[in-house]
Amino acid sequence: MAFQKPESSQSIYEPEFVEKLFNEMSLTYERMNTITSFGFSNRWRRQCVFELAIQPGQVVVDLMTGMGETWDYICQRIGPDGMLIGVDFSAGMLQYADQKRQRKRFAQHTIHLYKQNVLAGTLPDQSADHVIVSFGLKTFNSDQINQLAQEINRILKPGGQFSCIEVSVPRPTLLRALYIFYLRRVIPVLGAVFLGNPETYRMLGIYCTEFKNTQQAQQLFQKAGLSCRTTRYFFGCASGIVGKKSI
């Protein structure tokens, strides 16, 4: 059945809705993502990973791993003795992640995939040296971001670091107007061309404009006991939160 926009504004944050959205998009996500961000998305992922002092042999958890878009950057750092754990609830996205895991360039790496809601995660306490969240914040409301921050705090080892990045609405007025026009008008058309359903990609624009940037999320992360700061990429077209758990 074709994807339908929900009636209420809060139901866009229901896990079942988000899971369905990404299952629907999984066929085209990687291509659309590269085209619609003019190649910036990969650069931002690399910057997000490189905020962390990842050492060979460490354990990195990639929450909302999607199809493993950050894995190249993580695996370069952890090397063959490290471990990468990817978590996502979309069977569609994980199917591609699993295919990627079997590619030759990941043959020497230990990559585990878990299909679960990150807000009801089962990873052991204090098991991760680093946690990454790449483009996974926008589909959460404030309560859920609060839960996510607690989950990151739970799974990080003392002194462990995390880095999150999200597409954001830039502050400069002209850039912001162009950006919102692009999200609301252009991306749905590209979605219609590639996917045959503009509604699916229009939803991403709605999530991004509602999310705005990582400023509010950073405060919620601090409330959860994590010391952190916000980061900005390319005039604020993406923003991040980088920090660590106390020792």
Ligand X SMILES: C[S@@+](CC[C@H](N)C(=O)[O-])C[C@H]1O[C@@H](n2cnc3c(N)ncnc32)[C@H](O)[C@@H]1O
Among 49, 58, 59, 66, binds ligand X (CB under 6 A): 66
Per-residue binding letters, 173-192, with ligand X (x by CB under 6 A): --------------------
205 sits near ligand X (criterion: CB under 6 A)? no
113 binds ligand X (CB under 6 A): no
Cβ contact 227:32 at 8 Å: no
| Among the listed residues 15, 79, 198, 236, the single contact to ligand X using CB under 6 A | 15
By CB under 6 A, residue 90 contacts ligand X: yes
Cβ distance to ligand X smaller for residue 88 or 129: 88
Of 81, 61, 49, nearest to 127 by C-alpha is 61
Q: How far apart are CA 28 and CA 115, in angstroms?
A: 20
H-type helices in the chain, by residue range? 15-25, 29-36, 40-50, 71-78, 91-101, 142-155, 173-181, 187-195, 198-211, 215-223
The residue within the footprint of ligand X, chosen from 73, 96, 135, 201 (CB under 6 A), is: 135
Q: Which residues, at least 6 apart from 143, have a Cβ–Cβ distance to it below 8 Å?
A: none
CB 200, min distance to ligand X, A: 12
User: How many Cα atoms are found within 13 Å in the side-chain-facing hemisphere of 84?
Assistant: 30
Q: Where does this chain bind ligand X (CB under 6 A)?
A: 15, 18, 22, 45, 64-66, 69-70, 88-90, 93, 117-119, 134-136, 139
